[in-house]
Structure 1
């Protein structure tokens, strides 16, 4: 994976570069928006990691210019502004994912890998692998540590969705829209009940939990 990181804080950029390069990834750094847009025009990047507040233009402006120019490179925006309205503004501008500062290295890496998988089409492959879990899409089968996990049809759809977004926070709204095909909140606990059932099946008999609740946000599938 080749990453472009647009960030004016040189120390932050250096720290992130060390994180991703330890994982065998390639990161190029641009210190402001203008340099970032220029690099995008001449480089073949898999993911853009974009700071929201830059000295010459905002990250929102940058992603808007990218999308207006036809660029479909996935963008992960990072910002100290982590309120829901800040996230919504970024997502409306064309950001693919939004991560509030400060962030943990493992979460950043998981989100970068998830964006890359989705962009490269790996999420729709016959088998999705994440951590010690396997999702056999065509066979509609779930495995953990090689052990088959019996799931109902809806539980399998949930499992596949979490596997396609491994390491990312998945909200109730996302699940209602993409798993239940609902564009509104029915004001029931249908999501919580089904996620609870899936969690029990994925974790019963295993030492490590894999499906965690992120209070106030949603759920996240962890690699162990």
Structure 2
């Protein structure tokens, strides 16, 4: 993927560029806010990694200007400012995720990958329909064959992720990351427990289960049930 890294610390920037390139990504770099803003507006990027404290204009202002011009590139803030208010400021400015220095590159890469998997805003659907299940994302309502399926928020998010990835194998790690926001394995059966509850609710009238368990690999949601 194409990544923009905006960081004024030369050593950190060099580490980001070399590590991301080694992971197979194409990286553009900038050492100040004005250059970062120009690069972000001139070309499309899958993800931008932006430091909060930048010369020229700071990271918050950079992202505010991006959003004001309609650029919706997912932004990961990378900063030493780790307070709750700092995180809130970053997200309210238009950032999508927040990682505090010092950081582990494995976590940064996982967060970048998660941001890149999000569908572009212009293509986000408001109703998902597969396997006879209709999910209204605006009204937060799920129904199957005319029967309302009452889901808890986490069950709703789990089903949404499965339906958006219908026909594809999704791993336990992907679910932990995308549904729970965990970038590590909590060593619990949280996924299995919620999956069991979701299936019981979806198939409460004896309907065929659209979710296939692939032993040792993950799950597949089938849009068409044979």
| Shorter-chain TM-score tier | 0.5 to 0.7
Secondary structure of 2:76's aligned partner: strand
Q: State how 1:43-58 maps to structure 2 within 5 Å.
A: 43-58=43-58
**Per-residue deviation, residues 8-66 of structure 1 (Å, max 9, x unmatched):** 11111111112111111111101101111111222121111100001222100100111
| Equivalent-residue separation in structure 2 for 1:21 and 1:164 (angstroms) | 26
Q: Which residue of structure 1 lines up, in the alignment, with residue 109 of structure 2?
A: 109
Contiguous gaps of at least 5 residues in structure 2: 134-150, 162-172, 183-187, 195-215, 217-226
Aligned counterpart for 1:198 among listed residues 190, 193, 207: 190
The alpha-carbon deviation at position 170 of structure 1 amounts to 3.1
2:75–2:97 Cα contact (<8 Å) kept: yes
Structure-1 residue corresponding to 2:31: 31
Q: Hey, what's the Cα distance between the residues in 2 that align with 1:20 and 1:168?
A: 25
Provide the aligned C-alpha RMSD in A.
3.4
Q: Is the 8 A contact 2:78 2:100 kept in 1?
A: yes
Question: Are the equivalent residues in 2 in contact too, given 1:111–1:168 (CA < 8 A)?
Answer: no
Task: Give the Cα separation in 1 of the matches to 2:157 and 2:90.
Answer: 26
The alpha carbon displacement at 1:166 in A equals 2.1
Larger-Rg structure? 2
Deviation at 1:70, TM superposition (A): 1.1
| Secondary structure at 2:39 match in 1 | helix
Give the whole-Å Cα distance in 1 for the aligned partners of 2:59 and 2:21: 24
**Which among 166, 177, 185 is matched to residue 166 of structure 1?**
177
CA deviations 1:83-121 (Å, max 9, x no partner) are 111100110111011111111111101111111100358
Aligned residues: 158
Instruction: Mark the CA change 1:37 to 1:49 in structure 2 (over 3 Å): closer, same or farther.
Output: same
1:84 aligns with 2:95: no
Q: Which secondary structure does the structure 1 equivalent of 2:177 belong to? A: coil
In the superposition, the TM-score normalised over structure 1's length comes to 0.60
What SS does the aligned partner of 2:44 have? coil
Q: Which residue of 2 aligns with 1:66?
A: 66
CA distance in structure 2 between the partners assigned to 1:31 and 1:91 by the alignment? 22
TM-score (norm 2): 0.59
Which structure 1 residue ranges, 5 or more long, are not aligned? 126-136, 141-152, 172-195, 203-207, 209-224
CA drift of 1:157 comes to 3.7
